[in-house]
A = this chain, B = another copy of it.
């Protein structure tokens, strides 16, 4: 019997990371662990979604609690207003106020740490560089640089010569293609949460809501979370 390879999947509870988890479990057939972050995000309720999603694929979770004492993002501060650009301007121009300074670098660092302890060969992140908000830490070059850090700075990468690979299976997909792929893989999108406002129902106005709505519209599916 061949044991499946191990993967750490960053799971926010949103549409993208859920799709990435289903891809890792059902397409790659990896034995997955999900890494969740309580980082003071205003939409912390996404963690409830993340746990439900992980349970659905029998994936154990770890939640890292962290705070950035220096703040620096409207996503961490409920007194700040969230941007709501017209859809065709999202991701163009300046980095938006929802950018959390070095967030993916911090998240991937923890993933590298966990991978080093459990001997995981793969780290999966739902980063997307097409229908996204314009964050610098979602781009292909950045992810390659981070992978190199894992190769050089961990026990796995050096002593054991099994450098963890960083996978971003959604990187070059439009939101529509992500949703199509997820529906084929059977992602229960009704469990996911995307809205940056962490209220009882999605606001429909923030970048994240708008990108999600566009994706479902163009894939000719109703968003099951809104039914």
A28 on the B face (CB < 8 A): no
Which of A112, A148, A152 is most buried by chain B, counting CB atoms within 10 A of its CB?
A152
- Contact segment of A83-91, A98-106, A182-190: A98-106
Alpha-carbon distance A30/B146, docked complex (angstroms)? 28
A149 on the B face (CB < 8 A): yes
Which of A94, A118, A142, A149 is most buried by chain B, counting CB atoms within 10 A of its CB?
A149
Contacts of A72 in B (CB 8 A): 113, 116-117
Partner among B118, B142, B159 whose Cβ is within 8 Å of the Cβ of A153: B142
Alpha-carbon distance A94/B137, docked complex (angstroms)? 33
Q: Is the CB of A114 within 8 A of B70?
A: yes
Q: Which partner residue on chain B sits nearest A139 by CB separation? A: B152
Shortest beta-carbon distance, A149 to chain B, in Å? 5
Partner among B106, B117, B137 whose Cβ is within 8 Å of the Cβ of A106: B106
Contact residues of A between 88 and 138, Cβ < 8 Å to B: 94-95, 99-106, 108-110, 112-114, 116-118, 136-137
Q: Write 28 A-B pairs (CB below 8 A) sorted by A numbering.
A: A62-B69, A68-B114, A70-B113, A70-B118, A72-B117, A94-B159, A99-B155, A101-B112, A101-B116, A101-B154, A101-B155, A102-B109, A102-B113, A104-B153, A105-B150, A106-B106, A106-B110, A136-B152, A136-B153, A136-B158, A136-B159, A137-B154, A142-B152, A142-B153, A145-B148, A145-B153, A148-B148, A149-B149
User: What is the interface of chain A, defined by CB distance below 8 A to chain B?
Assistant: 62-72, 94-95, 99-106, 108-110, 112-114, 116-118, 136-137, 139, 141-142, 145-146, 148-155, 157-159
Extra contacts, 9 of them, besides A101-B155, A136-B154, A137-B154 (Cβ < 8 A), are A65-B67, A68-B113, A72-B117, A102-B112, A102-B113, A106-B109, A136-B155, A139-B152, A145-B148
